[in-house]
């Protein structure tokens, strides 16, 4: 989205380290991304030389153009996965598949809650496991860029760490903040169109396997290469219709790459309501991203 500076604005490398880059004069046009942290937004400034990327205070910008239509969902071969040949697998339904119709003016996380929605603390091993999944998904991004993506993804105002984020005083070992406190925690939920393996079916729910946070995290590369079905992908749904259809796309943190996260509890199992899942055949191809029919 296009914004203009309403005053002289300083661009910083990061919102926490505050290393100065350049200043922008008032009335300059900038591209504002969807990353924002604690009053700062990530922008791209096309000056006289090469583009400058960085963080500026949100209060220093005025909106000049609003993009109302969500972008079309682009599904690449990297976004297609195959259900394992063994096991009883279910796909988590998109909002439009179970009857929810969101309204509003911006995309929102298409989360699918478990029946309990508890929180699992992310010790150092689990924080770096998640961080390494982000690196594996977007190998072309620099470590600084992945750090920015991590800070945005685990922010209190996102989908995963409600009231258990670094902004609430919890320890973030990746960002090296609040280290004497309890670690940040991830909410017990997933996002639409991920798949889960059922251990058993109960009257109103299925009991499924997930990562067990009571043990140290496994090696991220091993999971990525050998057990991709255990990795879940963050999806967001457009809250207005796109050509009379609903779009479920990727979280924006990895610049067009899928954003992975762990489905994690402290017991290694969780439950999803039967009205939020559908059985998916073994061996079938699927994608977390879709447009309604």
CA distance 270 to 205: 10
Predicted local distance difference test score (pLDDT) of residue 70:
46
- The residues that bridge with 89 in the sheet, in sequence order, are 197
pLDDT digits (tens, 9 = 90+) for 58-69: 788 876 543 444
Nearest to 81 by CA among 224, 207, 261, 244: 224
User: CB neighbours of 49 closer than 8 A, spacing ≥ 6?
Assistant: none
Domains observed in the chain: 2-63 (2.30.30.40), 77-291 (no CATH)
Terminus-to-terminus CA distance in the chain, angstroms? Answer: 28
Mean pLDDT of the chain: 87
| pTM (two decimals) | 0.78
CA distance 75 to 148: 24
pLDDT digits (tens, 9 = 90+) for 210-250: 999 999 999 999 999 999 889 999 999 876 555 567 888 99
pLDDT digits (tens, 9 = 90+) for 85-104: 999 999 999 998 988 776 65
User: Which comes out higher in pLDDT, residue 110 or 6?
Assistant: 110
CA distance 248 to 111: 11
Count of alpha carbons within 13 angstroms of residue 178, beta-carbon side: 14
Count of alpha carbons within 13 angstroms of residue 287, beta-carbon side: 16
Q: Is 164 helix (H, G, I), strand (E, B) or coil?
A: coil
> What token pair was written down for 60?
């220093």
Q: What are phi and psi of 144, to 5 degrees?
A: -60, -40
CA distances from 65 to 1, 31, 32, 37, 231 (A): 6, 10, 11, 21, 37
Are 5 and 25 in contact, with CB atoms under 8 Å apart?
A: yes
Predicted local distance difference test score (pLDDT) of residue 66:
38
């Amino acid at each position: 989205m296009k914004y203009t500076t309403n005053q002289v604005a300083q661009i910083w490398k990061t919102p926490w380290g505050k290393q100065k880059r350049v200043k922008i004069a008032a009335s300059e046009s900038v591209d504002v991304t969807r990353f924002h942290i604690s009053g700062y937004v990530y922008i791209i400034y096309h000056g006289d030389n090469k583009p400058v990327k960085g963080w500026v205070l949100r209060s220093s910008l005025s909106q000049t153009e609003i993009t109302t239509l969500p972008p079309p969902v682009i599904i690449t071969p990297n976004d297609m996965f195959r259900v394992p040949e063994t096991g009883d697998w279910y796909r988590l339904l998109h909002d439009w598949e179970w009857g929810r119709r969101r309204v509003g003016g911006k995309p929102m996380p298409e989360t699918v809650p478990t029946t309990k929605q508890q929180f699992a603390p992310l010790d150092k091993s689990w924080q770096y496991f998640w961080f390494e999944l982000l690196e594996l998904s977007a190998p072309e991004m620099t470590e600084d860029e992945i750090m920015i993506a991590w800070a945005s993804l685990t922010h209190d105002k996102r989908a995963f760490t409600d009231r258990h984020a670094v902004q609430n005083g919890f320890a973030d070992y990746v960002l090296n903040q609040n280290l004497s406190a309890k670690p940040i925690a991830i909410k017990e939920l997933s996002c639409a169109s991920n798949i889960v393996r059922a251990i058993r079916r109960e009257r109103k729910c299925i009991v499924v396997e997930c990562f067990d946070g009571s043990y140290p995290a496994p090696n991220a590369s091993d999971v990525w290469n050998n057990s991709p079905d255990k990795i879940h992908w963050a999806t967001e749904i457009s809250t207005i219709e796109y050509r009379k259809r609903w779009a479920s796309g990727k979280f924006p943190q990895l610049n067009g790459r899928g954003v992975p996260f762990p489905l994690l509890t402290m017991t290694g199992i969780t439950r999803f309501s039967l009205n939020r899942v559908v059985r998916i055949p073994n061996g079938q191809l699927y994608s977390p991203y879709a447009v309604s029919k």
